[in-house]
Amino acid sequence: MSVESDKQIADILATYGEPLAGNVWRVQGTAVIYHKTLERIAAQAQIAFAPPQILRAERDEAVILVTGEVRLANDAGTRREWSIGEALIGVNYRVSGKQAAYVFAMAEKRAKDRVILKLIGLHGLLYSEDEADEFKRPETAPAPAPQPARRSQRSPQPQNDAPDPGTIAASLRERINAAGSINAVTDLMLGPETQQELAYLAPGERDLIREHAKERLVALGWPVRSNRKGASS
């Protein structure tokens, strides 16, 4: 992503009280945003969704049309957008091991996320994490299957190389506190090293770290707005 697109994304997210750091990351240069972040924005923007239209319903495939509408500022009417969500097992929706497949739920999430991105002006600038499996962060990837133990004549050695989650969390908090500017916090949270460290933490601890980063951004002057900019009451 360019600095210009980063700023554009950050400005739009800020109007809904969401920082760039902790909500957006990069996959080979592509900006990706959490589905749950888009859900919060949809609630903040008061986006209304019409009942979905099922275009294709198979055991391993679902295609759904979703339409959303948002009220414009100053009673200037409404804006409506639509999009299609597709999920086909083995093609654009991978399921591993004993993981259950929910093709309709995935198709709906993809369609709704695309509609939200269109309505808030982020379509084309970034993608939802559910757009493609390769967008998933390491923290959401399935754990590798256990390998059978191999016999060895050597005595087993203690495994001391595993990172300690408590140490990682403490280190992340220290680095967030040490960041002296909004850009420094954002760069820290978007960095690949931070992403790898977050992957070692439990989901609840990751959320606490992201909230700590947001608090640091606010302390450094990041604007928090409880209502969408320009929206009428």
Residue 48 shares a structural domain with residue 119: yes
Of 31-35, 75-79, 191-195, where does mean pLDDT reach its minimum? 191-195
Within-domain flag for 142: no
Q: Residue 36's pLDDT band (boundaries 50, 70, 90)?
A: very high
My answer on whether 50 and 125 are in the same domain is yes
CA distance 122 to 126: 6
Structural domain of 102:
34-136
**Is 232 inside a domain boundary?**
yes
DSSP H helical ranges for 21-152: 35-45, 103-120
Residue 224's pLDDT is what?
66
| Secondary structure of residue 84 in the 3-state scheme | strand
How large is the average pLDDT for residues 56-61? 91
* Shared domain check, 16 and 47: no
**Statement to judge: residues 74 and 91 lie in one domain:** yes
- Cα torsion 8, 75, 38, 211: sign: positive
Same domain, 6 and 38: no
- The answer on 69 and 52 residing in a single domain is yes
Same domain flag for 93 and 171: no
- Answer for the pair 65, 172: CB distance below 8 angstroms, yes or no: no
Partnered with residue 69 across adjacent β-strands are 48, 80
> How many domains does one find in the chain?
2
What pLDDT does 233 receive?
42
State yes or no: pLDDT of 163 exceeds 80: no
User: Is 147 contained in some domain?
Assistant: no
| Residue 213 forms part of a structural domain | yes
CA distances from 138 to 100, 164, 198 (A): 19, 17, 9
- Decide if pLDDT at 156 tops 80: no
Residue 24 lies in a domain: yes
> How far apart, in whole angstroms, are the C-alpha atoms of residue 97 and residue 90?
13
Domain annotation covers residue 146:
no
The model's pLDDT over 179-190, given as tens digits with 9 standing for 90+, comes to 888 888 888 887
Mean pLDDT rounded to a whole number for the chain: 82
For the residues 46-67, what does the mean pLDDT come to?
95
Rounded distance between C-alpha atoms, residue 69 and residue 72, angstroms = 10
In a domain, residue 54? The reply is yes
Q: In what order do the strands lie in the sheet with 24-27?
A: 24-27, 30-33, 127-128
pTM for the model: 0.68
